[in-house]
Copies of this chain bind each other. A is one copy, B any other.
Amino acid sequence: MPQIKTGIINVTGYIGAELARLLCQHPQVELVTVTGRSAAGQKLGDVFPNFAGTNYIIKAELDSEIDIAFSAMPHKSNVDVVPSLLKQGIRVVDASADFRLKDAGEYSKWYGFTHPSPDLLREAVFGLPELHQSEIASASLVANPGCYSTGALLALAPIVKEGLIYPDIVVDSKSGVSGAGRTLSLTTHYSEANEDICAYSLEGHRHLPEIEQELKALNPSFSPSITFVPHLVPMTRGILSTCYARLRDDKLLKDAKAEKKLSQIYREFYKHAPFVQITIKPPHTKHVCGTNFCLVYPSVDSKTDRLIVISCLDNLVKGGAGQAVQNMNLMFNLPETTGLEALAIYP
C-alpha cells in the first residue's frame, strides 16, 4: 500500500509539532511538507529540538501533491484556506474550531466573525471518532474537536445517549499549561504559572458550544444546561474533566450495583473504541502522557443520586494531534490505532 502523503500547515505551535512527531513516525505516512510562515526556511529541529536528528525544513507553502493536509493555524485563519485545499482534491483535518460548529450563527457569537462558508459547515464532520466513525471515513473535511470538548464528550456521551441524567450538568476541567500554546503571556510565564492553580473563562469558554451541539445530536430530546469551568494546573500536559449530573434513571437509583451497571453501559458504548478505556479507579493524567488514550471513570455518589464521571487525556494527543491522526486513519481505511500505539512514558 502506498504511503499517505501528508502536509502540516503551521507546524510552529505545540499541536503542529505534535502532529509532526506522530506523522513522521507513522508507518503508513510520508510527511511531505511542514509549513510555518514566520519560521519558513528554518530546520524543524531548530524550532523544536526533539526533531534535531531529522531533516525537515519548514516551508512557506504546502506542496500540492499531498493526499491530506492537517491545519494547525489559529481560529479564523482556516475559513479561506480550507476551501481552496478541498478544491485541489486535498482532504483536510482542521485542528481549529473553524468548521466544528454546524450553526454559522455561533461563530458570530463565540468567535466574533461571520462565517463565510455555511455550506462547508454542514459538510464538515465533527472529528470525534467515537461518535462519528463512519462519517469521518468518507469525509473530505474533518473538524478536529477541542481538547476540553473531547474529554467532556467522551465522559458524557453514553449517559446522554441513554437518557440517564437530568440536563443540569457541571463540567469542571483541569488542564496542563501546554493547552495555552506556545505564544508568550504572563499567564504562562513560568514563575507565574508554577505552584498555582486558577479557573478561567468563567464568562463562557469557546469549547462549550461544541459540547452542547454534540450532546444534543446524540439525544435530540435532551437539552443540556451545562456549566463548564476550565482551570490551569502547573504541569505541562494533560486534561482531567470531572463531570457532575443527577441520575434520572429509576433502574440505577437506589441500586446497590448501580456503579457496576453504569460501568457496563460505558463498556458497551465504547466497545469499538480502541482509545477509550473504562477504569475502575479514578484515573490520572500521568497515565496517558504522550498517548492517544482517554480514560473514563463513571461513578455514583449514592448520597446525592449524582453521577460523577471523570475523564482524562493528553491534551496534545487525544486532545489534538493524536485525534487528528486517528481521523486520518479512518479516512484512509487504516486500522484506527495505526501509528498511535505507543505506551505512556511513566513516570
Interface residues of A (CB under 8 A from B): 14, 17, 21, 24-25, 48-54, 168, 170, 172, 174, 176-178, 182, 184-186, 188-200, 202, 204, 225-227, 229, 231, 233-238, 240, 242, 244, 246, 277, 279, 282-287, 289-291, 293, 295, 299, 301, 303-304, 306, 308, 310, 312, 341-347
Contacts and interface: CB of A to CB of B under 8 A. Distances in A.
A78 to B, nearest CB: 24
- Determine how many copies of this chain the complex contains: 4
B168 A236 contact: no
Question: Which 5 residue pairs of A and B lie closest in terms of their CB atoms, listed nearest first?
Answer: A50-B344, A196-B286, A50-B346, A191-B347, A184-B184
A245 B4 CA distance: 50
Given A227-B301, A303-B204, A191 B234 contact: no
B202 A308 contact: yes
Contact of A196 (B172, B189, B235, B299): B235
Given A49-B346, A178-B347, A240 B191 contact: no
B290 A290 contact: yes
22 contacts: A14-B347, A25-B342, A25-B343, A50-B291, A170-B170, A170-B306, A174-B231, A177-B191, A182-B189, A184-B186, A184-B189, A190-B234, A195-B236, A196-B285, A198-B240, A198-B312, A226-B304, A227-B304, A229-B308, A233-B234, A342-B342, A345-B345
Nearest to A306: B227
A195 B346 contact: no
Contacts of A342: 25, 342
Contact of A227 (B21, B293, B308): B308
A343 B50 contact: yes
A193 B299 CA distance: 23
Contact of A50 (B170, B301, B306, B345): B345
A282 B310 CA distance: 23
A156 to B, nearest CB: 15
